[in-house]
Structure 1
Amino acid sequence: MSQKVESTSPQNVAVLVFPFTSHPSSLLQFVRSISAAAPDMKFTFFSLSRSNSSLFSGSGNRGFDNIKPYNVWDGFPEGSGNPLEQIELFFDRAACTFEKAIEEVEAETGHKFGCLISDAFLWFSSDIAKKMHIPWVTYWIGEQRSLLVHIETDIIREKVGAPGQEDKTLDFLPVFSDEFRASDLPKEIVFGNLESLFARMVHKMGEKLQQQATVVAINSFETMDLKVTEELKKRLLNKLILVGPLHLTQPVVPDRDDKDGCLQWLDKHKPASVAYISFGSSGTLPPIEVAALAEALDEGGFPFLWSFRGNKEDFPKGFVDRTSSIGKIVPWANQVQILNHSSVGVFVTHCGWNSILESVTGGVPMIGRPVFADQNLNMRSVEVVWKIGARIEGGVFTKTGAIKALEQALSLEQGKEMRHRVGVLKQLAQEAVGSDGRSAEDLKALVEIIKS
């Protein structure tokens, strides 16, 4: 028999998860940072069972006993393996599914939730929080500029959108120079199918964040992009807080030991001499680009550590054997530890926001090959705002383009300059999360908002 539900308690927090790609782990990292600052709070992490299983298994949640997973029904029929199909099915039912799950937990525990935290994608969380008469704290896993373009979607669609305008500059937007192009934008904003699930989702998100959010939190720091931060604060009516880089404030417990010996392998190399290669937890390159990058590493003789999740048959014949003395290929690597190793000289990346932040705090410049979502916009900032990396020539890997980029980053003056600039940002990031830093102060303010 369920207990009588008591009065709302700010100490009980519901967390609604977008259970795909890197979103669950990013949101859990955010919740852990709040938990560490307020260990008396209790968090219920609502997500799909398979997502929760991977996040909360083993020692991954050790030290965070006040964060409990709660599995919601996914509703996926047997054989629905297509990721886009699964996301559409999830969104068809998500609002009702989450509401029902919240009611179940409140009935089981006898305590009402006093705050709702959600991934920013889950814009309908605003309506759930409104019904419950509690604050809605939403979390954007990207950076400041990428959120600003979603808030400015209507004016972007008014100014840009006709076919052939991909090269149109975005200088009509505040804090965007003429070096930003419409082609840098996520396709859901302007050039893709604007009636697609993602296009409607992020457009609605931009509206709801301005209208109904109590707080909009971002895993970044104010001085990473000060002008954009100030503009975004205006748009969000000072609801914005920046609490990052979170991996510096609450390091994620490694999912596994360094069983492949990556760190020991790196110990044997000279400072800033190794190319670390990874395209995210779910990203893979087309086979032709895998081969081109492999050929560049082989012909150029560049030491490399490649966290590779693709098909090794895409490598040129004999590549693994020929490069065994200079290279190491592993299925998984502790990216934060590797990027903080002195021998890593460049990070070859898809330009996801977490990867960029981790590269910055490791003091490592980047070679970017964006794939989708906000990655092109991130890459443009890396190139023209912070000047701490370079996009691969032509936007895709060729052997000659990859050799050129690796030589510039590892051997030439351009690489030294990028390393110097990223070192400055690294220092700013460390200051932001220090005891008197702005990110640390924002996190304290967030805890007080939830408690009150």
Structure 2
Amino acid sequence: MGSHVAVLAFPFASHPSVLLHLVEKLAPASPNVKFSFFSTNVSNQKLCSRFKLLQGHNNFKSYDVDDGTPEGCVFTGNPLEPIGFFLDATPDNFKKRIAEVEEETGLKISCLLVDAFLGFSADFAHELGIPWLAFWTAGPRSLSVHIYTDEINRALASAGGEGGQSDQDMALDFLPGMEAIHVSDLPYELLEGHLDKPFPKMLYNMIQAIPRATAVVINSFEGMDTTVVNDLRSKLEKVLTIGPLVLPSQKLEDELGCLSWLDSRETASVAYISFGTFLRPPPDELLALAEAIEEKQIPYLWSFRNDPKNPLLDGFLERTNGIGKVVPWTPQLNVLAHSSIGVFVTHCGWSSVMEGVACGVPMICRPFFGDQKLNRRVIEDVWQIGVGIEGGVFTKKGMVNALDLVYSSENGSNKMRCKLNELKENAMKAVDENGSSSENFKTLLDIVTSRDVS
């Protein structure tokens, strides 16, 4: 086993999980390559069940790196605090652990496959003289707006502001494929005035580094954002769209009986509600969402992570017991692929968006941060496959209106599902044997196995 790929994760939110999805495809397809997955202990513990499945291939192993947390530290609850400690520990934490693993295995690293957030690894790969593969875990548009950070801030300065309230409606029509996007849709991290803080600084440094990548890998597919992807290709060495990374055909465990419950529901009737692995709307929004579901008597399956017995919803759960099911976890991809699902109420994280598209399900969008507002705009105004919540937060009236729109056959579900079918067909073509995503994945395999690709 000569090739040895070091996989470097950004150990927060869904980033490690999405990166692992890519490794779960690469490792079985390249049995003579060793994959060493580096993340923090806390992050790796959350993925341990998936690590066990991969270890059956004998060419994968996970390793912990120092998370930089000072001894005796008590976190304040600010989610940026552990990120700051981790960033302070990089790149030395990764370099030290990789050196230990090289000694342990007797195999030098031949390729770096990293979460694109870790821009420092471009220098590391250059020092080692090996390929540097940057995996962008979000969509092409969010990568594009980051690449255009300087241009966006110059345009804001020319307009007399720095992303303040008066600038929020400014359209990014000066950027390729961004005519529908507004300043209000952008992550706050790329706006002037924030760039000196640890997390925005990390993203800005990443954008300086990313043109040096041997290839930038994106969980998207040809025909989804053509103008944007073509523009990225004019700026980067190689852009490999390899999505959808996870497909509905993969059967997941269903210990809580979600799929059998869905079997008894009418076609396209159920609202599936999920806000990812760690997000939750505030209490007043939860109540507003529940009140709208109850008023409309919409059958629902609610993935209420970690706390399905939230006392806020006690009365609602009792009154809607006959039409709803609340669970702490669902096999989301299989749920979305089920014929009874009529709408996906989502935070618009990119992985969830891709799964909604791959399964052809209209979306009601309540974004929180990062790329989610941008994704909402694209879903509603570009692809026209869903609707955002009026005002950006759940109110009973706003949710009722969104449900009315999606479930109405004339203006809602029929139109949206027609648009979704077009996207879904492109996605399935891309992952066919000779489709664009399949061919791009072969190119990626050639790089990780150190075969020459020009």
User: TM-score by structure 2 length?
Assistant: 0.93
Work out whether 1:420 is the aligned partner of 2:414: no
Work out whether 1:138 is the aligned partner of 2:134: yes
**Identity percentage over the alignment?**
48
1:291/1:314 contact within 8 Å kept: no
Work out whether 1:115 is the aligned partner of 2:117: no
Deviation at 1:250, TM superposition (A): 9.6
Q: Which residue of 2 aligns with 1:166?
A: 168
Structure 1's 436 and 329: CA in aligned 2 closer, same or farther, altered over 3 A?
Answer: same
Which deviates more, 42-51 or 9-18?
Answer: 9-18
* Whole-angstrom distance in 2 between the partners of 1:107 and 1:278: 44
Deviations 1:276-329 (A, max 9, x none): 000011111011000000001111101000001357546355111000001111
Q: Map of 1:18-57 to 2, 5 A cutoff?
A: 18-57=10-49
Deviation at 1:52, TM superposition (A): 1.5
Structure 1's 191 and 304: CA in aligned 2 closer, same or farther, altered over 3 A?
Answer: farther
Q: Which residue of 2 aligns with 1:5?
A: none
Q: Which residue of 1 aligns with 2:219?
A: 219
1:406 aligned to which of 398, 403, 406: 403
Q: Which residue of 1 aligns with 2:59?
A: 66
Work out whether 1:288 is the aligned partner of 2:289: no
1:365/1:418 contact within 8 Å kept: yes
Q: Map of 1:225-240 to 2, 5 A cutoff?
A: 225-237=225-237, 239-240=238-239
Q: Which residue of 1 aligns with 2:189?
A: 188
1:297 aligned to which of 286, 293, 297: 293
Deviation at 1:420, TM superposition (A): 1.4
Q: Which residue of 2 aligns with 1:207?
A: 208
1:249/1:433 contact within 8 Å kept: no
* Whole-angstrom distance in 1 between the partners of 2:23 and 2:381: 32
What SS is found at the alignment partner of 1:367? strand
Deviation at 1:192, TM superposition (A): 6.1
CA RMSD across the alignment: 1.8
2:272/2:301 contact within 8 Å kept: yes
Deviation at 1:20, TM superposition (A): 0.8
Q: Which residue of 1 aligns with 2:263?
A: 267
1:376 aligned to which of 373, 376, 379: 373
Q: Which runs of 5+ in 2 are unaligned?
A: none
Q: Map of 1:292-441 to 2, 5 A cutoff?
A: 292-309=288-305, 312-313=309-310, 315-316=312-313, 318-413=315-410, 414-441=412-439
Structure 1's 46 and 27: CA in aligned 2 closer, same or farther, altered over 3 A?
Answer: same
- Count residues in correspondence: 438
User: TM-score by structure 1 length?
Assistant: 0.93
Q: Which runs of 5+ in 1 are unaligned?
A: 1-8
* Whole-angstrom distance in 1 between the partners of 2:428 and 2:56: 23
Deviations 1:146-181 (A, max 9, x none): 00011110010111143321111110112211x321
* Whole-angstrom distance in 2 between the partners of 1:15 and 1:387: 36
Deviation at 1:63, TM superposition (A): 4.2
Deviations 1:14-71 (A, max 9, x none): 1111111100010111112222321221100011122222213375436443111011
* Whole-angstrom distance in 2 between the partners of 1:10 and 1:228: 37
1:78 aligned to which of 56, 72, 81: 72
What SS is found at the alignment partner of 1:246? coil
Deviations 1:182-214 (A, max 9, x none): 01010111166232112111111111001x211
